[in-house]
Chains A and B, each alone.
Chain A
Amino acid sequence: MKNLIISIIIVLLTNAGLLSQEYYCNCVEDISMTENFQKRLSGRYFVSRTMNYGSQFYYKWANGDVIMNDGQIIRNKYIRYNRYYDELIWLRKSDYKTALMEKETIDEFIIYAEDNTPYAHFIKTRIKKWYQFDSTDVFLQVLTEGYISLYAFRTVTVIRNKIEIYDKDIYYLLMNNEYYRIDASRLGLMRALPQNKTELKQIIRKNKLKVKSEPHLIKAIELLNKEYYSTFL
């Protein structure tokens, strides 16, 4: 037995020496020239923890475009947003390995639905979380953009001892280049936009909106932009 183990180790080491410095590639033959010229995605190998309940991810694995901070767009990659880590994960189709992409290099990403229509658009921005001393880069989903823009930080609440995850969405308004965290409620909206209190009341009453629901919150901001701030754009 001992000799067998030694033999195996010798064989492994010999192979290791011969194969040292090799690159491993799962290549797609006849890569088109356009694809050849496209910037390559890079990331670190990543395996997500499994949870007893809930998912770390926002949406499923889907085709997406990644807009890098040098302006280049890398199209048609399998990506998924990890809400737990607030990171973008890339799935390499050729070997089904997943990688954590470096947040610093990404500016935006767009996830497409199965019918190739944009499902979600995330932008990287710098905000200060209440529990942190300094601001950090986070990915926010664009809900509506205008004079007042609405974004959602898709995060999760983790119950560690049960290994369970629950959805938690935090909403931010962007106005005059400043982000304001808001509660998705009528009162929260009024507090965030005291200067538009009357207008908001009118919009909510007229359109019978319940701003606790995300679509209604988006509609309220859209109508406010359209009816009161259209001349600012």
Chain B
Amino acid sequence: MLLTVTLLFTSVYGQPPEFHTEKNDCFLERNEKVYVHLDKYTFISGQSLFYKAYVVNASSLKKSKQSSIIYFEITGDNKKPVYSWRSNLKNGLCYGSVIIPDTISGGIYTLRAYTNWMRNTSPSYYFNTGIVITKINESDLSKLTGLPANHNKMEESELIQAKAAMAVYILDVETSEPGDININIRTNQEMISSNPLFYLILQSRGKIIKKLPVTISSGNAKVIISKNIIPAGILNIILFNAYNNPVAEKLIYVPPENYPSLQINTLKQDYGKSDKVTVEIELNNTEITDTAWLSISVSEKTPFDTVLNSPGIASSLLFYSEIEPGKYAWDLLSNDKSRPCHYIIEDRGFILAGRVLYKQNSNPIINNLVVLSYADSIANLKYCYTDSSGSFYFLLDQFYDNRDLILQLINGNRGNNNVVWEIDNKYSQDFSMKYSTLNLSPEMKEYLEYGRKISLVNNIYNPGMKKDSIPAVRAGISGHRNFCGKPDYKIFPSDFVELNDFREISENILPGVKFRNRGDIYFVQIYDYKNSIIMPPQATVLLNGVPCTNLAYISSLGSKDIKRIDVYQSLIMYGELSFYGILSIYTYDGKIPESYLDNFAHIYKNEVRLPYPYEGNNIKNKPDFRHTLYWNPGLKISGHNKATIEFTTSELQAEYEIMVQGITSGGFPIEATSEIAVK
């Protein structure tokens, strides 16, 4: 007998299961999703990879205002990144380029993008796409390893079947009716009358959108849900029994309706070599107040495109980023599986995290002062103390980008012989990913061979690797100053007669500073004129802004080496630290001796990729063999406006795909493709 029970939302038969809805829950706070638009997916080493990243709020799909840093890595089938970099996000968007290093051997690699916050969840939820890389001198390839297994190939029908076959409880979902979704619950358990209360949880985009008590009578129940409350994308439907144990789960894909759309118009399909192409991009079905942030690529179609099957922004954000193959959503929902957020959201800057351990026994070094500095013409220290696991954390703003940061353990004078520095490299560490091998078809082999030849020609006309997009130090960012304020006085040794070593300098031109040694032991003492006291002989010495304990080296510096000396003649309080006078020495070379750094510091190269201009067709008097005819990561269309772009075709006869991807201010991922041919 089939008895259908339709429950009203207001019915209360008991306490529904408790789920994490707090902000700090990592699963529900799987609050960001990433999509990366690449200019192309097949590369020869030495070529540029242009990217535009969209980081959106997982629930609203609007541009994320949370994370300010995004991480990228190219991972091979050995599951270790072969190349990684990071970029700064501005309102959820960033663009840039990297040059594929020639150290990467040929294969299919996974390009992955994520934020630090997303690291609390499985790497399956990150942005993942396959890219093909071959070396310029690699010929006669018959197969490529590293093809990501199936993730991007999952079809909608597979998804529905994937998690439906639970033992005794079956969820049948009907979505064909307009306006409603019908959920039929069936069970073969006859004797459930003693505890008939169940709960149905509907979850979408990382948030519970409905909790419903369900009474199963005679093995059946029916629930009707209005489609209005369900956003487009994956809907998790989970049935819990009265003991809060999940008994059935089903995922369905709710396709988007009334979505804004993009239209690409070209004057014709076929063009000649070095022909001018005009493309019109039109935004339809939007409000007048809507804005769309778009990126456009016009790239050569390759035989690998169908194999890599890289998803567009809509299917990526609505479909693939919501599923983790082989895992149930309830695993992450249930109470006892909750976990604290280990990785902090980087909303105010980059978090440099790491651990310090004793080399001998790998025990953590606890409650030790870690100082971060860099060689510069100002002293700008940061410090923190290691916690019970030996971990330390520094929050770094963009001022620290692309600097060599110097980390030092201060208390105890622990040299690097006794200490191991473990820096969190922010790798995704996805060990679950499975890879397969791709046997190359004759078309694929031919394409790679042809690509290599073109690269060789390009290299002849553009000898040497292209300039990397990492500048030495970002100029023009100000706001940082000496952590200890203005010095009591500054001395420029060049204003005086030449002095051979620092002792002579201190005796002759540094009033109130005593620099002495007893054998190999040096000390600096500073007289506090204001309070008329001699402070303890423990004045701090900074060399080019970096704390330096190697006073023997300082003693060897004379007028020829030192540009400026700042003297602080009182007790300087900085946070919880006290400095009994500071002697800040700046040398002409601005460097810290390498031997000192090797022994007493850890260098962290704080590299960040900055936006890099696309050369386009500004190629004069050279053969033009561009695979990417056009790349524009920063197109913005407001309201019902159109955008028109123009570019010139190269001398490569091929079919090209015009791909426009983007996100609207209303939180709609939009995409459109079109094709042209160069004959």
Chain A interface residues (CB < 8 Å from chain B): 13-14, 16-31, 33, 36-37, 40-45, 47, 70, 90, 92, 94-95, 97, 99, 102, 104-105
Cα of A90 to Cα of B522 in the assembled complex, Å:
33
Cα of A44 to Cα of B580 in the assembled complex, Å:
10
Interface size on B, residues (CB 8 A): 46
Majority SS at the chain A contact face: mixed
B577 touches A25 (CB 8 A): yes
Beyond the given pairs A17-B523, A20-B538, 18 more chain A to chain B contacts, judged by CB atoms under 8 angstroms and listed by A's residue number, are A16-B538, A17-B521, A21-B413, A22-B411, A23-B540, A23-B577, A26-B576, A27-B576, A30-B388, A33-B344, A36-B393, A36-B395, A41-B574, A45-B570, A47-B531, A70-B479, A90-B573, A92-B576
Interface-forming stretch among B8-16, B198-206, B480-488, B504-512? Answer: B480-488
User: Can you give 11 contacting A-B residue pairs, CB < 8 Å?
Assistant: A16-B537, A18-B521, A21-B540, A24-B578, A26-B576, A31-B384, A92-B576, A94-B576, A97-B571, A97-B578, A105-B485
Task: From A23, A30, A92, give the contact of B410 (CB < 8 A).
Answer: A23
B485 touches A17 (CB 8 A): no
Cα of A20 to Cα of B572 in the assembled complex, Å:
16
Task: From B387, B395, B521, B572, give the contact of A44 (CB < 8 A).
Answer: B572
B369 touches A20 (CB 8 A): no
CB closest chain-B residue, reference A103: B485
Q: Which residues 483-516 of B have a CB within 8 angstroms of A? A: 483-486
| A-B pairs, 6 with minimum CB distance | A40-B575, A17-B521, A45-B571, A37-B395, A16-B537, A102-B485
- Of A18, A25, A92, A97, the most chain B CB neighbours within 10 A belong to A25
Minimum distance in angstroms from A134 CB to a CB of chain B: 18
Contacts of A18 in B (CB 8 A): 521
Minimum distance in angstroms from B470 CB to a CB of chain A: 25
A25 touches B369 (CB 8 A): yes
A20 touches B570 (CB 8 A): no
Contacts of B481 in A (CB 8 A): 105
Whether, in the assembled complex, B524 has its beta carbon less than 8 Å from a beta carbon of chain A, the answer is yes
Whether, in the assembled complex, B541 has its beta carbon less than 8 Å from a beta carbon of chain A, the answer is yes
B395 touches A16 (CB 8 A): no
Whether, in the assembled complex, B334 has its beta carbon less than 8 Å from a beta carbon of chain A, the answer is no
A31 touches B540 (CB 8 A): no
Task: From A17, A21, A33, A47, give the contact of B518 (CB < 8 A).
Answer: A17
Binary flags per residue of B142-165, CB closer than 8 Å to A gives 1, else 0:
000000000000000000000000
B538 touches A99 (CB 8 A): no
Contacts of A19 in B (CB 8 A): 538
A20 touches B551 (CB 8 A): yes
CB closest chain-A residue, reference B484: A42
B393 touches A33 (CB 8 A): yes
Cα of A90 to Cα of B413 in the assembled complex, Å:
30
Contacts of B577 in A (CB 8 A): 23-25
Contacts of B393 in A (CB 8 A): 33, 36-37
Task: From A13, A14, A26, A44, give the contact of B485 (CB < 8 A).
Answer: A44
Cα of A102 to Cα of B488 in the assembled complex, Å:
13
Task: From A23, A28, A29, give the contact of B579 (CB < 8 A).
Answer: A23
- Of A18, A23, A45, A70, the most chain B CB neighbours within 10 A belong to A23
- Of A17, A18, A19, the most chain B CB neighbours within 10 A belong to A17
Minimum distance in angstroms from A225 CB to a CB of chain B: 34
CB closest chain-B residue, reference A102: B485
A44 and B551 in contact, given A16-B537, A25-B578, A105-B485 (Cβ under 8 angstroms): no
A37 and B523 in contact, given A20-B537, A25-B577, A102-B485 (Cβ under 8 angstroms): no
Contacts of B537 in A (CB 8 A): 13, 16-17, 20
Cα of A28 to Cα of B387 in the assembled complex, Å:
11
B485 touches A23 (CB 8 A): no
Minimum distance in angstroms from B132 CB to a CB of chain A: 41
Contacts of B276 in A (CB 8 A): none
Whether, in the assembled complex, B83 has its beta carbon less than 8 Å from a beta carbon of chain A, the answer is no
A22 and B574 in contact, given A33-B344, A37-B395, A70-B479 (Cβ under 8 angstroms): no
Contacts of B484 in A (CB 8 A): 42
CB closest chain-B residue, reference A42: B574
- Of B388, B521, B541, the most chain A CB neighbours within 10 A belong to B521
Whether, in the assembled complex, B642 has its beta carbon less than 8 Å from a beta carbon of chain A, the answer is no
Minimum distance in angstroms from A197 CB to a CB of chain B: 45
Cα of A92 to Cα of B485 in the assembled complex, Å:
18
Contacts of A102 in B (CB 8 A): 485-486
A20 and B522 in contact, given A29-B367, A44-B572 (Cβ under 8 angstroms): yes
CB closest chain-A residue, reference B541: A21
Whether, in the assembled complex, B385 has its beta carbon less than 8 Å from a beta carbon of chain A, the answer is yes
Cα of A94 to Cα of B385 in the assembled complex, Å:
15
B574 touches A40 (CB 8 A): yes
B573 touches A92 (CB 8 A): yes
Binary flags per residue of B397-419, CB closer than 8 Å to A gives 1, else 0:
00000000000001101000000
Whether, in the assembled complex, B549 has its beta carbon less than 8 Å from a beta carbon of chain A, the answer is yes
Binary flags per residue of B541-558, CB closer than 8 Å to A gives 1, else 0:
100000101010000000
Cα of A24 to Cα of B479 in the assembled complex, Å:
28
B523 touches A42 (CB 8 A): no
